[in-house]
Amino acid sequence: MNFITDHLLSIILFSPLVAAAILLFLPEQQEKLIKWVSFVFSLVPFGFSLALWFLFDKNATGFQFVEQYVWYAAINSSYHVGVDGIALSMVLLTTLLTPLAILASFSIQHNIKSYMILFFLLELGMLGVFLALDLLIFFVFWEFGLVPMYFLINQWGSEKGEREIWGGIKVPARTYASFKFMIYTMAGSLGLLLAIQMIGVVAGTFDIPTLFERWTRLDKPLFGLDISTVKAIAFWAFTIAFAIKVPVWPFHTWLPDAHTEAPTAGSMILAGVLLKLGAFGFLRLVLPLYPMEAQRYAPALAFLAVMAIIFGAFASFGQSDFKRLVAYSSVNHMGFVVLGIAAAAYAMGGENATIALNGAVLQMFNHGLSAAGMFFLVGVIYERTHTRDLNEYGGLFPLVPVYGGILIFTSMASLGLPGLNGFISEFLVVRGSWPIFTLFTALAMIGLLFTGAYILKGIKQVLHGPLNEKWVGHLTEINEREIFVIAPLMVLMLWIGVWPAWILDVINRAVLALLS
């Protein structure tokens, strides 16, 4: 038992890898077996995360369940993992969404084995980022996560659609989207990579807790430049990398493409977890490593966040593609996360900052639930209708009442209806930011208004209005498996909406530590 508790994080981290390895040796043709084995094994990390959740000492500060082993001694990088409250909630979110996404993927038709293996590798990459306490390890997992996602979009993405690229050549949309996703994120991480290298050279270590001490105290000129200039450049290198991932306006253009073309489960994970990586990067690295710069540039960041909120909402409202609508809603919702972070960075402590940051972290979690749910529901209807065009739907409520109910419930959570989770977190963010960035927050309210508008538009176009006759008799109700996927998400949405304390307790301690 000691072994398990001592190595709990490593076990959580690498159990997906074990699952992938086991899948590798299963025969390709046994699709059913592969699906169920994948599902069962995806529950393993979830189980351990639950254990982690309960073993986690909510009152202790600092990182817990720390493990450290020699990895790359020559450049002073080690395999160093640990969790705090923020990471813990993200780990829980990841391990929760993965089994659900796998369950949602049971309808995948071809190459199920490779698909599942890639999915587990994706989970590995995401968990690694949340757990890493070494800058290099952080980057390793950060980049590594791209690869499975690329292939998931490229291979199992929607088969329709073409995009014209330069030179007038037409390529399949999924190829275009996956390529854009990969290059965008890689280009974004390039600055991150360079900055990490630079930090490694200057500080002589990659250990994140050590860097918190060492890097922030540097005051000698570097490379013939003033230290503050160097830090400012490095700050922006980090920020842009994370901003692309979040994504913050104007770096968001890869996201609608990627989301639209990704398979349902891919979108769930993409929206549910991958976007959180960027926000998590802000929390884990940018704020502690660059407190001064973060404070100085927080208004700019807040401005971008507000733009993301407003434009995300507008863009979403303007879509006629259901999946694109949901995709842009992610831009909108993640804007609140960034707004909260920027506000906290600007205030540097104090009650408002704490509230804003708590809200941001909770919003990350909540958006993970609702966005995953929304994408899943889009996927459910797409599988039946093979279209995502909102104008093709209409008046479906009578045909699929259960599905309709679920869709409305989830949409409301996304909208921020009081009593459901979205409300809590968005309220916290707004409440915290208001005294700090009054104008920005006020502007963000416009976005909030349009959030309501586009969500209602979506519901209206799909469920209400005149019935599109061609679906009569063709549209089947949501099945048990699919209900089983969405049910846990709905439970959590409601639970957090009604009684958020259980998760805020965990988050709050880490937030306080971060702001001290």
Partner 1 sequence: MQFPILSFIVFTPIVAAILIFLIPEDRKNEVRVAALAAASFALVLSIWVYFAYDIQAGGYQFVEQVSWIPALGISYKVGLDGMNAPLVLLTGVVMFTGVLISWGIDDRPREFFTFLFILATGVFGVFVSLDLFMLFFFYEIAVFPMYLLIAIWGWKETREYAAMKLTLYLFVGSVIALVGALAMYFTAGLGTFDMLELEKAGFSREFQILWFPFVFIGFGVLGGIFPFHNWSPDGHVAAPTAVSMFHAGVLMKLGAFAALRVGLMLLPEGAKFHMGWIILLTLVNVVYGAFIASVQTDFKYVIGFSSVSHMGLVLMGFATLTKQGFIGSGIQMFSHGVMTALFFAVVGMVYDQAHTREIPKLGGFRKVMPIVAVCFIIGGLVSMGMPGFSGFIAEFPIFMGVWSSYPLIAIIAAISIVITASYIIRVVGRVFYGQMPQEFEGHVHDVTVLDKIALLFLSFILVALGVFPGWMVPLVESGVEQILRLLGGA
- Closest contact distance (angstroms) between CB of 354 and partner 1 is 34
Count of Cβ atoms closer than 10 Å to residue 477 Cβ:
13
Minimum distance between the CB of residue 39 and partner 1, rounded to whole angstroms? 24
Question: Which listed residue (49, 154, 411, 421) binds partner 1 by CB under 8 A?
Answer: 154
Nearest to 427 by CA among 370, 348, 366, 515: 366
The single residue among 140, 248, 268, 362 that binds partner 1, judged by CB under 8 A, is 140
| Residues 53-72 interacting with partner 1 (rule: CB under 8 A) | 70-72
Based on the shown chain and the rule CB under 8 A, indicate whether residue 139 belongs to the binding site for partner 1.
yes
Q: Is the preceding omega at residue 247 within 30 degrees of 0, hence cis?
A: yes
Window 361-390: residues binding partner 1 (CB under 8 A): none
Exactly one of 3, 59, 74, 516 binds partner 1 (CB under 8 A); which one?
74
From the list 55, 60, 165, 201, which residue makes contact with partner 1 (rule: CB under 8 A)?
201
- What string marks each residue from 416 to 455 as x (binds partner 1 by CB under 8 A) or -? ----------------------------------------
Q: Which residues contact 276 (CB under 8 A, 6 or more apart)?
A: 90, 93, 364, 367, 368
Q: Which of 83, 108, 136, 327 binds partner 1 (CB under 8 A)?
A: 136
Say how many residues touch partner 1, by CB under 8 A: 32
26-34: long-range contacts, CB 8 A cutoff, minimum separation 24: 26/113, 28/113, 31/112, 34/112, 34/113, 34/116
DSSP tag of 251: S
> DSSP per residue over 434-469, as a string?
TTTSHHHHHHHHHHHHHHHHHHHHHHHHHHSSS--G
Which of residues 31, 67, 143, 321 is near partner 1 by CB under 8 A?
A: 143
Shortest Å, Cβ 5 to partner 1 = 25
Q: Peptide bond preceding 299: is omega within 30 degrees of 0, i.e. cis? A: no
Q: Which of 10, 107, 155, 387 binds partner 1 (CB under 8 A)?
A: 155
Q: How far is the CB of 71 from partner 1 (least distance, A)?
A: 7
The answer to the question of residue 179 lying near partner 1 (CB under 8 A) is: yes
Q: Which of 25, 73, 167, 219 lies at the binding interface for partner 1 (CB under 8 A)?
A: 73
Task: Please give the full DSSP string across 357-412, using - where no structure is assigned.
Answer: HHHHHHHHHHHHHHHHHHHHHHHHHHHHHS--BGGG----TTT-HHHHHHHHHHHH
Query: What is the 3 state secondary structure string of 116-134?
Result: HHHHHHHHHHHHHHHHECE
**Near partner 1 by CB under 8 A: residue from 48, 56, 119, 141:** 141
Does 190 contact partner 1 by CB under 8 A?
yes
- The Cβ of residue 46 has, within 10 Å, a number of other Cβ atoms equal to 20
Q: How far is the CB of 183 from partner 1 (least distance, A)?
A: 6
Residues 6+ apart with CB under 8 A from 270: 149, 258, 259, 262
Which residue of 56, 115, 119, 150 would you call a contact of partner 1, by CB under 8 A? Answer: 150
> Rounded CA gap, 120 and 21, in Å?
10
Q: Does 186 bind partner 1 (CB under 8 A)?
A: yes
Binding site for partner 1 (CB under 8 A): 70-75, 136, 139-144, 146-147, 150, 154-155, 175, 179, 182-183, 186-187, 190, 193-194, 197-198, 200-201, 223
